[in-house]
A = this chain, B = another copy of it.
C-alpha cells in the first residue's frame, strides 16, 4: 500500500489536498472541490479544511470528493460516486459506484456501501455496516418547510454490523440497531431493534437475525 501517489492526467486535485502514500486518483475524478451552495441552502458556510485521503485509498473514475472531508486508509470511493463536505470516513470503507455521501456524515471502519446508495446529511453509520445498492435515507420530516426543521434535520443512525437491503427507504432520524437486518425494498418508519429482521412497507419485525449471520460467527 505504500508507494507513489498516482493521479491520472485527466483528474483534478484542488490545491491543499493531502494524499497519503499510494493513493490513486483515477480518470476524471475531482478531489478537494469547494461547495457552490444555493443562496437558499441551509448548509453551513464556514471555510473548509483541505480534503485528506489516507494511504492506499482509491478515488475512482469520475468520483468527486469535497473539501472539508477526511477519508481513511485503504478506502475505495467507487466510480462516479460523490462525497460531500465535512464527511469522515474511517479505514477500509467501500463506497460503491454512483453512491452519494452527503455532508456532515460519519462512516465507521469496514463499512461497505454498495452501488447507487444515498446517504443523507447528518447520518451516522458505525463499523461493519452493510448498505445494499440503491438504499435511500432521509433526514427532513418537513421536506423544506417550517423554521423548526432547521435544528431538527437528522439522518439515520445505523449501528455496528447492521445490514440494509437493496432499495430500502429509511425515514428521518431512524435508528437501526446493532446487527439488525432490513429486507430489500422495506420502508422503515420506526426504529429497528438490534438483531431483528424487518421487512415490508411499513417495515415490521419478522424474526431474529440467524446466529450464523452475526459478526461473531461470520
Contact = CB atoms under 8 A, between A and B. Distances in A.
Interface string A3-30: 0000000101000000000001011101
Report copies per complex.
3
Nearest to A76: B38
A80 interface: yes
Interface in A99-118: 100, 102, 112, 115-116, 118
A39 interface: yes
Nearest to A138: B166
Closest 8 CB pairs of A and B: A185-B187, A169-B185, A136-B167, A167-B169, A138-B166, A145-B218, A143-B163, A134-B136
14 contacts: A10-B12, A30-B61, A30-B62, A62-B62, A64-B80, A132-B140, A134-B136, A136-B167, A136-B185, A138-B184, A142-B213, A145-B163, A145-B215, A200-B202
Interface of A: 10, 12, 24, 26-28, 30, 33, 36, 38-40, 58, 60-62, 64, 74, 76, 79-80, 82, 92, 94, 97-98, 100, 102, 112, 115-116, 118, 120, 130, 132-134, 136-138, 140, 142-147, 163, 165-167, 169, 171-172, 181, 184-185, 187, 200-202, 212-215, 218
